[in-house]
Amino acid sequence: MFVPIHDDTPLKVIHFQWVTLAIMVVNCLAFLWDQFFASDIQHNLALTTFGLTPQDFVAALRSAGPHGIALEALTLVSSLFLHASWLHLIGNLAFLLVFADNIEDAFGHLGFIFFYALCGLAGGLMHVAVMPGSDAPLIGASSAVAGVLGSYLVLFPKARVWMLLFVPVPLSAFWALFGWLAFQLFNIFWATPGSNVALWSHVGGFATGFVLTLLLRGQISLNTRGRI
């Protein structure tokens, strides 16, 4: 298992990661509703309505009406709050719990909301670009979470992170997150080509978070009083 357990990077500016907590709670509530309260019809309707379906997104882009594409564009964000299984949900929450607090600390509460959404949006668009004919709805926070990992790699490469690799192992953030990215690319090109896991959305989100943080690093440094 490749799951983060803990890092040693303290918060320096914010007192608590309220936005990260809110994102985690909304994800949990949406999943619990889907698992325990939604009927099969409601479950399928939620997937088709709020999931990002590349085929529908491309069709809306090609249509003349702006109303259609506006509705489809909303799925770039709404799809981030749906998950397919307990393992899918817990995996994303584990990465958010360990890494997102420090990125919220760096960007501030409001800035983190936009950062998270933008990484998720970019990951979704990457998935559509790579698989434009897919009729399977894309769901999950993975692309936005991947953006958080890309940002953490820029800001805290020397931080110590404990990863669960069957047993807890302490690693520098650089090797932990570089290893995560290498694992995505390995699966894309060698291990599971054609997999229903939207791996390109992970790469797109990671790249977006990495580049955005590089571009804004000077401003982040000022906001966090020279911490970087």
Percentage of the chain modeled with pLDDT above 90:
79
| Contacts of residue 122, Cβ cutoff 8 Å, sequence gap at least 6 | 143, 147, 204, 205, 207, 208
Question: pLDDT digits over 92-135, tens only?
Answer: 999 999 999 999 999 999 999 999 999 999 999 999 999 999 99
* CA neighbor of 3 nearest in space, from 213, 203, 164: 164
Question: pLDDT digits over 44-65, tens only?
Answer: 999 999 999 999 999 988 875 5
CA 132, distance to chain mean position in Å, is 20
* C-alpha span between 222 and 226 (Å, rounded): 6
Count other Cβ atoms within 10 Å, centred on residue 90. Answer: 13
Question: pLDDT digits over 125-162, tens only?
Answer: 999 999 999 999 999 999 999 999 999 999 999 999 99
C-alpha distances (whole Å) from 113 to each of 20, 57, 104, 228 are: 9, 24, 8, 21
The encoded tokens of residue 197 equal 């896991």
228 pLDDT band (50/70/90 cuts)? very low
Provide the pLDDT for residue 1.
57
Give the 3-state secondary structure of residue 172: strand
* C-alpha span between 118 and 36 (Å, rounded): 31
CATH of 2-223, one of 1.10.10.1150, 3.50.50.60, 1.20.1540.10, 2.40.10.120: 1.20.1540.10
Asked if 95 and 145 touch (Cβ cutoff 8 Å), the reply is: yes
Provide the pLDDT for residue 226.
38
